[in-house]
Structure 1
């Protein structure tokens, strides 16, 4: 489908959660958006009863309602969905692809903070910072930390990256200034990546000091890090999960971390908010964070500006730089 050249500002509706809109659409972002588009007044949190007759572009983000065939039938002029967030699976339905709508995602912008969070977690894990900090705070005394934590440090560690996604590849790039041996596993890779050696998953988990997950949540990736693969990880190694909780057998991981054999950094858990009695909260070798690796706070502006850049390209009839491939959408996050 060729891009629609309007010669004017495209009529654009904002569709996302109210709270998302408040955080995402800062005055500076709104000013840019109004400069390139004729924005309808109301933020759509539900398409029921919404007048979509003249809407050419939907500017979406988290909590956008699904664009079903019924909704699309009321939007005859809709040509593009510009998503100011990562995954489009929650709202872009098969009906959108059948209609040939242009779809763009700011996943590349959201990959930046996740990769930065991962890099920080890798560096801190090698120095055992979370565990040592807890002990130091509790004991408040000097001790021989190197004796207590043999092998402490980041020199010539092996880091295994599971998933050569945008985030996985960015993590590999960020690791280059450091003295790491980097392994990568991805069934869709046809060869080694620059600065990373491709291996199978079993080899990766058995050979790495730190395993970092960046694969999508698909039926074939469910519990890909199972009890057997956790048991194969090196004693004292660390699992970092900034992807999805479903990739890991959490019960098996809890057993391994309770024993003290493995360490973990978990930005995603099942359920997303662990029950108050979960053992994972208090283990000294586990860091649990409340899904903060992705874009939060002022990082939301990065996604918003990337989306507005795409909307500007659309308005000028230029190719989108971050267009979502409908044939690849089933195997991406």
Structure 2
């Protein structure tokens, strides 16, 4: 198996080139062995809408089941729903089949032990298990669960708008539209959406809102329809890009400032985690408003770990990954 796909935060490469379907089943055996050794035997499994995701999810499931892990298939959904499913279903961990914001030819796997992302040396440990071929054995059970309805109920039950908003949404033909649009409508927003039909070929633009050219159609819609805000998502819906009412991109560090000020109004002295790509203005603003700002290494797994150890209220990156302690 190509060792180059075992990266810092996940396992990812070009589908059917860097990793084949048969190798995905082998990967499932490696992941299952790794997680089972740590007491994780009930796993949630989600996938994005890429062309190979259905096949890869099936092969991964076969590998996981062979190690004795029980697998609950939560279907095609955004990555945040995997985290929700692990907690909601009281599972021990999970795997998401996705290449996130990467181009259509890629695919990959994000692994969770509990709600913690498996990363770094642990990713390499899985590769070592595969290379040794010393896999756990068992006969796991397979089930299916649609968690989207309960997720929608959970999110909408926690949001109250002070006034109705006119919102533009660009899901980039990824999986975010299936939850973002109904959530916004249910909380009273007027929603104007583009590219919210799932298509793993990403025919309109790459599903990466951190690249300005991918936001141009959303910007045009916000300006043309005079909307209050525009929100763009990546392929698996775990990062976002924001456009203000004038069509200007609001970058990740500015979003953190907005969120931090609101949190500090309720929780004075709160701690916030971000990374080296964010501006000094952001760190200074948090300190100015009575917060504690910590600069940490880039990477969602690393940021989330630091958030936990520092008991932070919010962690965020320029890429649009945002993590709220109370959500």
Q: TM-score, normalised by structure 1?
A: 0.32
The structure whose Rg is larger is 1
Decide which structure has greater strand share: 2
Normalising by structure 2, we get a TM-score of 0.32
| Greater RCO, CA 8 A, separation 6+ | 1
